[in-house]
Structure 1
Amino acid sequence: MRGIAWRRVLTQNIRSVGSLARWAVRRTHGVREGDQPVPYTGPQTAMMYGLLFVAVVETVMLALLIPWPLVHRILLVLDVYTVLMVLALHAGCVTRPHVVGADGSLRIRYGTLLDLRIDADRIASVRVERRYPDGKLIQYDPADDGILDLVVGGQTTVRVELTAPVTFVRPLGGEGRARVIRFHADRPELVTRATADATARARARGRPVS
């Protein structure tokens, strides 16, 4: 299990760094023609740039204060790595938005850490619900068929209730099952409107909603 966790962390870091190139050319991942991308990075952007500023200031200050070249080089490498990882994490979130599919399906993500796909026929309801939970970014309560909270900037804005639980993979490889997913979207009303519109279009064409 520990080996699987380390492999997942390494894979996530590689994908996040790869997101920097995608971010530079303004390309998104996993958004097809007819899909509606839904950004969610608004509440965390200022915090991310704040962390970058602190890391750069720390690097400059240590260069001035530490007289030992070897120690300075080691700390410089660590600071550069920190800056790269913060940028890569944010780039992963920007380039991997939530997605409302053309068929009414939902793809809920947080960078490279979590990617949950929900078919339209599994969705019982989608509504705007603002909450401000404390604690971790990803919170999971297996009681009552499972509740998954994906918190960004200390808040969630959308609640999705399903007709049956779906299985998802947690960041370190463990599995969970959730019947209620609460997540943040910068424009939560866009999720509800786009999901309803996509489902209506699919039914008007006489195609099964899936």
Structure 2
Amino acid sequence: MTRVKRLLRGVAWLVLPAELALVVCLMAGLRPPAPVMAAAEAAVLLLLLAEAAVFLRLWRGEGLTPREAVGELVPEPVLRLAGHELRLMWSLLLWAARRRAGVGPGDQVFGHARDQAALLFGFGFVCVVETVGMSYLLGPWPVLHAVVLVLDVYTVLFVVGLHAASVTRPHTLSEDVLRLRQAAHVDVRIPLERIASASYELMFTHDKKEDGVLNLPVGSQTSLTLALTEPVVSVGLLGGTREVHTVRCHADDARSMLRAVTRARTALSPPPGRPA
């Protein structure tokens, strides 16, 4: 089965770029010969059928869950990128319904989307203007116009989805865990017992290469700095991991969040001499 999976991935790396090249030709007004088009479509169809057959074999035959079976067939970076896009689109629905994701009963919630809203909405407006302009300019080329229109509309949804993800995925504080999030691509859980100190520290510049430090800026700023007694693992967008011992984040009401974290840490391990 391992050889079959490797073979399918190798075929996919050949077929998908070829399909993309055909799309580019069609956008440029060049129509390849009919046999070439038929062969390309047949190759894509056969690849999809083979992938479906292996998926069913892994799911039904080897007892894997559907998620595990997909993970065996699709490279992790591709799977994580697809998951990120789906979370953005789902965030739009949650935002419209005024609901939030990942907030448990009793959790304290701290929003962090306010200071980047103007920037994202401004960028979204520019994308809308660009969509209208490109639709007018590409009118004489229907295929190219359709492709660019789809990309432009998706770009607008992507930008608005970034804001929606920030709104619907706030920082949360439970009895023993502080959960810090950034849009739909960062989600770090920090046990309160690992927080050595928490302080209000407004920063507008951050060194991305600073070892062991995770910066989660909003509108290019962070306002809270957390120093940890033990590192926590941060997972990147494409699945890469690294250990961090200092986390800087931002909240709309940073001082209120700092007070809540301090109270939660005190309740978890009260100072000596005081009753628990």
| Deviation larger for 25-34 or 114-123 | 25-34
The Cα shift of 1:202 comes to: 4.7
Identity in percent: 40
Query: Normalized against structure 2, the TM-score is what?
Result: 0.67
Using CA pairs under 8 Å that are at least 6 residues apart, name the structure with larger relative contact order, 1 or 2. 1
The Cα shift of 1:104 comes to: 4.7
Q: Distance in 1 between matches of 2:89 and 2:209?
A: 27
Q: Find 1:170's aligned residue among 227, 236, 250.
A: 236
The Cα shift of 1:196 comes to: 2.0
The 8 Å contact of residues 104 and 195 in structure 1, kept in 2 or not, is answered as: no
Name the residue aligned to 1:132.
204
Query: Normalized against structure 1, the TM-score is what?
Result: 0.87
The 8 Å contact of residues 133 and 151 in structure 1, kept in 2 or not, is answered as: no
RMSD in angstroms over aligned alpha carbons?
2.0
User: Structure 2: which amino acid aligns with 1:28?
Assistant: R
The Cα shift of 1:116 comes to: 0.4
Q: Distance in 1 between matches of 2:113 and 2:101?
A: 15
Question: Does 2:194 align with 1:122?
Answer: yes
Question: Does 2:148 align with 1:75?
Answer: yes
Name the residue aligned to 2:17.
none
Matches within 5 A, 1:43-192: 43-66=115-138, 67-101=140-174, 103-133=175-205, 139=208, 141-142=210-211, 146-192=212-258
Look up the SS of the partner of 2:75 in the other structure.
helix
Q: Find 1:17's aligned residue among 74, 84, 89.
A: 89
Look up the SS of the partner of 1:197 in the other structure.
helix
Look up the SS of the partner of 2:230 in the other structure.
strand
Structure 1 unpaired stretches of 5+: none
Structure 2 unpaired stretches of 5+: 1-73
Count of aligned positions: 198
Q: Distance in 2 between matches of 1:119 and 1:202?
A: 11
Higher helix fraction (1 or 2): 2
Look up the SS of the partner of 1:141 in the other structure.
coil
Higher strand fraction (1 or 2): 1
Name the residue aligned to 1:5.
77
Look up the SS of the partner of 1:163 in the other structure.
strand
The C-alpha deviation readout for 1:57-78, integer Å capped at 9, x for no partner, is 1111222233322222121111
- Structure with max Cα Rg: 2
Look up the SS of the partner of 2:198 in the other structure.
strand
In structure 2, relative to structure 1, the CA distance for the partners of 1:132 and 1:30 (3 Å cut) is: same
In structure 2, relative to structure 1, the CA distance for the partners of 1:35 and 1:169 (3 Å cut) is: same
The Cα shift of 1:43 comes to: 2.0
